[in-house]
A and B are shown apart, each in its own frame.
Chain A
Amino acid sequence: MMADIAMEGITKTFGKVVANKNIDLQVKYGEIHALLGENGAGKSTLVNVLSGIYIPDSGSVYIDGKETRLNSPRIAAEVGIGMIHQHFKLVENMNARENILLGNKKGLLLQKEKLNGEIVALSERFGLKINPDQKVYDMTVGEKQKLEIMKVLFRGANILILDEPTAVLTPQETENLFEIIQKMKDEGCAVIFITHKMNEVMMIADRITVLRKGETVKTLTKEETSPQELAELMVGHKVDLSIKRPKTEKGRVLLEVKDLQAVNEEGIKTLRGISFKLATREILGVAGLAGNGQKELCEALAGLYPITGGSIEYLGESLVGKSPREISSLGISMSFVPEDRLGMGLVAAMDMVDNFILKDYYKQKGMFVDRKQAREKARQAIKKLDISTPGINNSIRELSGGNIQKVLLARELNSNPSLLITAYPVRGLDINVSYKIYDLINEEKEKGVAILYVGEDLDVLLELCDRIMVLCHGEVMGILDADKAGKEELGLLMSGEKTDKLGD
């Protein structure tokens, strides 16, 4: 018997890249179906086909047993498909009600009372607490997401697609979201849930379809599988899911930051008195929801972001107001792997060689640039980090995300740093590369490097780092010992509850 929602033989190519290759997916009403796969496995492409954004090269979609041509998002909405995108599509300076109404064709005039009634009814049914009069710019990320869900439900969707909905949420918000998803299931909706986090799948999904390199690997029920098996299906071979934390004797304090303050271009405070110490042979993790001062902190340390108060001392030498080149001329070897790899750390259109000379070309004598050494270093890096690239003279734009990150790390580690700042170094990378990067970072730690690791996955932070500093609104909420802290505690700190634990 055919499932309620069935996709059969979906193929979709972009240029030379086959994003989906003959994929089958079957989902039932009243079930939570997780779509699991690494980045680039084709999850997003597949659900974009289902929501009418992409038109497949071949294959068919059946809704309630009828073949349906989803040629536009509108048609998809008419048959009850609603998608909650990872990046919210809301109008910031409108309120919740106005956002819900956007694009709706129900009547000409706004019947505020009636609409409010409908919104409240939906809220109660699904446990979505929304204030219809609240402006979007006043909402937290969690509230915005609820509004997105409400928008879709209001249009009568009963097949809901959530594209990595937990990536931006705190653990508490995630729990709340899962309750809502559970309600949807109880109400008879079909929920398709995209993720690459195994523990979430095990918590909420009924059935799981694993995709790998654009193909369906297997569909299984939660009861018959384990995180270990899922990870292996995703990657295609055996993986060890534990991250090592080599025991090292913490060395002397290398970096001391006291009461660091900064404002952005609009005059809003981005760093509000951050203080911490970082020693050699330790990894200090930085946790927090995106946009709570992590980027500014990293850039301020690297001499790229102006600070308005406080001090940064490297072995007693003040770094305040110094440019990256001035810091380097003090004999301090600081490496910085920024969050925005192609927009800041590397030049996308240039080849590996030109990217390798980015930070030290100016130290060469004379007005010309010599690339001989860099060529040699690039060749070595390809071997050492196992970078797959057509050659050292191909622009790095042609490489995959993981290989781009390897190029960046290779350059930054080549300078033998004593202080390493990494911001989201594994974001968007698949399991293999992520673990390779954890290993590299641990290797540096054992060499005696002081490491600041800004991350988003709390499980990784807890396993990899020695201590974890939690930021919220540019303030330090607490600094915890990683082997004594729990996810719950971190989550509370991330949402702004302060603790008096400030590490040492």
Chain B
Amino acid sequence: MFRLVKRSEISRKKSIVIRLLAILLAFTAAGILLLTLDLNPLEVYASMIKGAFGSAYRVREVVIKTVPLVITSLGIAIAFKMLFWNIGADGQILMGAFAASYVALNYGDLPRFLLLLLMFVAGALGGGLWALIPGFFRAQWRTNETIITLMMNYVALKWITYLQYGPWKDPQAMGFPKIPNFTANAVLPKLFGVHVGWLIMLLLIVIIHVFLNHTKKGYEIAVLGESENTALYAGMNVKNTIVSAIFLSGALCGIAGMIEASAVSNTLSVEVSGGVGYTAIITTWLGALKPLVILLVSLLFAALLQGGSFIQTAHGIPESTALLLQGMILFFVLGSEFFIRYRVILRKE
């Protein structure tokens, strides 16, 4: 039989080799699946790469998908660093989008820069305040944030649904349940063919990197994440740190919501988050809570999504198969984390 031994430490090189092997294995296993469908796996993979990076348009699409993933991941990373399991990014995105939309729909005639700035602030506030609710409960009564943040996603979702079907329904949509489109001033402008969200994303990466590594608050969050007793011993204000870090976490998700509503869908709808709040949990984790690594992982993830949707049309593969491919890659990569922590020893007997 075999037994598992916990590794004491692992060299960087070895851990990279294990991860690369996992990706290779994932493509091999997925290849077997494709073979059973009478498809040539190499061709499919080649067109996945083509689908993601094959033309300027496709690259732009990948970037557009990367932006919300990265910003949301940055938000989640702050919470995770403190061991606050914020599963509520999706709801925070929605509430950020909601607050930004409120500004866009009611003050659509304001000058462009002022309007976008107001929407940006509203988005951050919307997501931040939404996250503050579970944050406050946790700081005050030590409630389990995983459950509360998750449940609040559904509350947010139903709230947007209500608006879409009720008070905010567009009277000119001929009965179709849809919120009116934003005015042109409320839509983020483009730079190099992609909305300026990518610039905001790059700025935020730098800011959060500095925040986590070089500020007092960032240091407090790191200490608190390791041990609350140590934080108390050092004289930190634990409640205050929890609450402000969670606000910041939600605010970043809210900013992602504002960007999506403004630049991508030009309106508010229940699809505005597109499940990014959940996917970002994975990219945050794989990105080891480090802003620069998160950018890299999110880019790969967005390419995988984009390439996956391209092969559907290019090879007539059903959507479920494309999703399966993505799932298998994820499974292997996440599974490889196990082998980074443990060593398997075969025993002769």
Contact = CB atoms under 8 A, between A and B. Distances in A.
A, B bound: yes
A467 to B, nearest CB: 27
Contacts of A348: 226-227
A354 B221 CA distance: 13
A342 B236 CA distance: 17
B199 to A, nearest CB: 24
Contact of B229 (A344, A357, A364, A398): A344
B214 A324 contact: no
Contacts of A17: 8
Given A343-B227, A398-B9, A325 B233 contact: no
Nearest to B347: A55
Contacts of A369: 214-216, 218-219
A128 to B, nearest CB: 37
B222 interface: yes
A16 B343 CA distance: 12
A469 B246 CA distance: 46
B144 interface: no
A304 B232 contact: yes
Give chain A's interface residue range (CB within 8 Å of chain B).
20 to 34
Contact of B219 (A325, A342, A354): A354
B235 to A, nearest CB: 4
Contact of A346 (B3, B8, B9, B230): B230
Contacts of B235: 323-325, 328, 359, 362
B5 A343 contact: no
A301 to B, nearest CB: 13
B6 interface: yes
Interface in B1-47: 3, 5-9
Interface string A172-212: 00000000000000000000000000000000000000000
A88 interface: no
B234 interface: yes
Nearest to A324: B235
A304 B219 contact: no
Interface in B63-116: none
Nearest to A303: B235
A367 B220 CA distance: 12
A358 B215 contact: no
Given A16-B8, A324-B235, A347 B223 contact: yes
A37 to B, nearest CB: 21
A368 B216 CA distance: 6
A15 B216 contact: no
B226 A14 contact: no
B226 A344 contact: no
Nearest to A359: B234
Contacts of B222: 347, 350, 354
B233 A361 contact: no
A225 B343 CA distance: 44
A349 interface: yes
A340 interface: yes
A347 B233 contact: no
Contacts of A15: 5-9, 343
Contacts of B214: 368-369
Contacts of A344: 227, 229-230, 233
A42 interface: no
B215 A368 contact: yes
B307 to A, nearest CB: 36
Contact of B226 (A336, A345, A350): A350
Interface in A346-385: 346-350, 354, 357-359, 361-362, 364, 367-369
A295 to B, nearest CB: 12
A17 B215 CA distance: 37
B36 to A, nearest CB: 41
A55 B1 CA distance: 13
A285 interface: no
A425 interface: no
A324 B235 CA distance: 5
B215 A367 contact: yes
Contacts of B218: 369
A359 B230 CA distance: 10
A338 B230 CA distance: 10
B158 interface: no
A367 B211 CA distance: 9
A357 B223 CA distance: 11
Nearest to A336: B233
Contacts of A398: 9
Given A324-B233, A340-B229, A358 B223 contact: yes
Interface in A418-443: none
B239 interface: no
Contacts of B236: 362
A347 B230 contact: yes
A358 B8 contact: no
B315 interface: no
A361 B227 contact: no
Centre residue among B8, B215, B219, B236 by max chain A CB count within 10 A: B219
A322 to B, nearest CB: 11
Contact of B234 (A55, A342, A343, A358): A358
Contacts of B217: 367
A449 B6 CA distance: 44
B294 to A, nearest CB: 19
B230 A345 contact: yes
A188 B139 CA distance: 59
Contacts of B5: 14-15
Given A15-B6, A324-B235, A358-B234, A367 B216 contact: yes
Contacts of A346: 230
Centre residue among B6, B215, B229, B343 by max chain A CB count within 10 A: B229
The 10 A-B pairs at the shortest CB distance, nearest first, are namely A15-B8, A324-B235, A325-B235, A344-B229, A347-B226, A358-B234, A344-B233, A367-B215, A349-B226, A369-B219
Given A15-B9, A345-B233, 20 more contacts: A14-B8, A15-B5, A15-B6, A15-B8, A15-B343, A17-B8, A343-B229, A343-B230, A344-B229, A344-B233, A347-B222, A347-B223, A354-B219, A354-B222, A358-B223, A359-B234, A359-B235, A362-B216, A362-B235, A364-B216
20 contacts: A14-B5, A15-B9, A302-B233, A304-B233, A324-B233, A328-B235, A338-B233, A340-B229, A342-B227, A343-B227, A343-B229, A344-B229, A347-B227, A348-B227, A357-B219, A358-B230, A362-B216, A367-B215, A368-B214, A368-B216
